[in-house]
Amino acid sequence: MSPAAITLLVLLIMVVFFVTEKLPAALVSMLGGSVLVLCGIIEPAQLFSAFSGSTIVLIAAMMVVGSALFHTGIAAKMADILVKLTGTSENGIMVAFMLVATIISAVCSGVAVVAMLLPIVISVSQRAGVSVSRQLIPMSFAASFGCNLTLMGAASNIVVNGALEDLGTTPLSFFELGKVGIPISIAGMVFFLTIGKRFLTPGDTADKEYLAEYTGSNKAVEFNPIKAGLCLVILAVLLVAMAVDSDAFPMYLVAAFAAFVMVLTGCIKQADAYKAIDMSTLFIVAGMSAVSTGMSNSGAGALIADTAVRLLGEHPNKLIVLFVILVLVTLLTNAMMNTSCAMLVTPLFIPVAQAFGMSTSAVAVAICVAASSPFLTPVGSGTNTLIVRPGNLKFMDFFRPGLGLSVVIMIVAMIFIPVFWPL
């Protein structure tokens, strides 16, 4: 059996375990990565190096920053203000957080946005008496909507745009993605306020014990104006630094420094900082990162893309090509990191577009949109993985609303991409 076939088989088995929930997701992710090591598809260092990778550091640091919002009393204060503004209706709270997540994620890492909003969503939901778990998925998915508003919204956008430049074609401008990103964001929010609500897990599945530990609600939390002020200053500096995203100060390093300063200034105790870091989440991310590497190393992703291209024939309908790209990249981004997915498919599909006489900009936008649509699985992106533990969410809790949302986004993309970037 070829390395590509082995990798696809491993991925299929992992999906089965994710769906059936016979084993914890963290264990499945690490076992999948371990099997690829034993098969010689990835090196042992590639499996374990993920634990010191930028994504892991960013997630762990933002967990600490998010928890500090609780321990300083800021989350409670913000929750009181938002409840007054939105009321206690599920729809009002859902819209508020989807809007905030979408807007901020246009210039900041979606993982950072979800980690920062997580404590506030929990506080608001608890105060309003609505289900915590039903608010988490719309907020997490909305952080992916924002990825389609600017080039800075996702690293995958930068990868695709860089590929356009390398191939000698016209790159996308900074706000150009917003032409399709705004309709997608609006359609996504409308989806959750209507049909999508029916597919969210009924009741409240949130892990109450974990939430009590995470929020510090198992002990009295007094609002300290000085520490709260320090926490807000650190958070503001962090957001600005992330928006700038300088090569000298990468996001993960800035986040780690912010978490360190939070502990140093007493915004959060060291013991509470350790408790805020959910190791199961980190194991899931590390394991899936290794699987993503295996997809690239083995040629599994390229095999899928090449097969799709061959099936299209020599003179396919351009709309069909666009649809196939959207479907294929959407499926891949739920099994790979979106950046890895973009790096894999862009060099394949841009030349294909040129050969078919298609607009390279249209194909590039389709790749960007699809790579930022990891809605089918809890391991599709770090934003989804972050909410698994607090919401006590399962594979199908993501798949049910995620499938409908993916269809909606594809329809919107199929309408607006040809309008703004004629094929």
Residue 112: per-residue pLDDT? 75
Rounded mean pLDDT of 30-42?
A: 87
pLDDT higher than threshold 80 for residue 145:
yes
Residue 73: per-residue pLDDT? 75
C-alpha to C-alpha distance for 332 and 342, rounded to whole angstroms: 9
pLDDT higher than threshold 50 for residue 316:
yes
Rounded mean pLDDT of 181-188?
A: 94
C-alpha to C-alpha distance for 386 and 114, rounded to whole angstroms: 8
pLDDT higher than threshold 90 for residue 403:
yes
Rounded mean pLDDT of 225-253?
A: 77
pLDDT higher than threshold 80 for residue 78:
no
pLDDT higher than threshold 70 for residue 301:
no
Q: Helix 25-38 vs helix 3-20: angle between axes, to the nearest 10 degrees?
A: 170
* Type of residue numbered 81: I
- How far CA 302 is from CA of 139, 242, 305, 342, 349, in Å, comes to 32, 32, 5, 12, 11
pLDDT higher than threshold 80 for residue 408:
yes
Rounded mean pLDDT of 33-62?
A: 80
Taking the domains of the chain in order of start, what are their residue ranges? Answer: 3-420
pLDDT higher than threshold 80 for residue 327:
yes
pLDDT higher than threshold 60 for residue 420:
yes
User: Which range scores top for mean pLDDT: 119-133, 221-235, 406-420?
Assistant: 406-420
Rounded mean pLDDT of 381-387?
A: 84
pLDDT band at 245 (very low <50, low <70, confident <90, very high): low
C-alpha to C-alpha distance for 125 and 100, rounded to whole angstroms: 16
pLDDT above 90 as % of the chain:
17
pTM: 0.76
Cα 337–Cα 338–Cα 343 angle in degrees, nearest 5? 100
pLDDT higher than threshold 70 for residue 217:
no
pLDDT higher than threshold 80 for residue 257:
yes
Rounded mean pLDDT of 68-90?
A: 74
CB 13 within 8 A of CB 39: no
Residue 255: per-residue pLDDT? 81
pLDDT higher than threshold 60 for residue 86:
yes
Residue 218: per-residue pLDDT? 46
pLDDT higher than threshold 90 for residue 114:
no
What three-state secondary structure class fits 189? Answer: helix
Residue 169: per-residue pLDDT? 75
Residue 238: per-residue pLDDT? 78
Residue 246: per-residue pLDDT? 64
Residue 17: per-residue pLDDT? 80
pLDDT greater at residue 147 or residue 18:
147
C-alpha to C-alpha distance for 287 and 48, rounded to whole angstroms: 9
Cα 304–Cα 309–Cα 314 angle in degrees, nearest 5? 165
Residue 119: per-residue pLDDT? 81
pLDDT band at 413 (very low <50, low <70, confident <90, very high): very high
pLDDT greater at residue 148 or residue 211:
148
| Number of Cβ within a 10 Å radius of residue 84 | 9
Rounded mean pLDDT of 204-223?
A: 66
Supply the mean pLDDT for the chain: 81
Rounded mean pLDDT of 91-120?
A: 82
Q: 148-157, 162-171, 378-387: lowest mean pLDDT where?
A: 162-171
Residue 221: per-residue pLDDT? 55
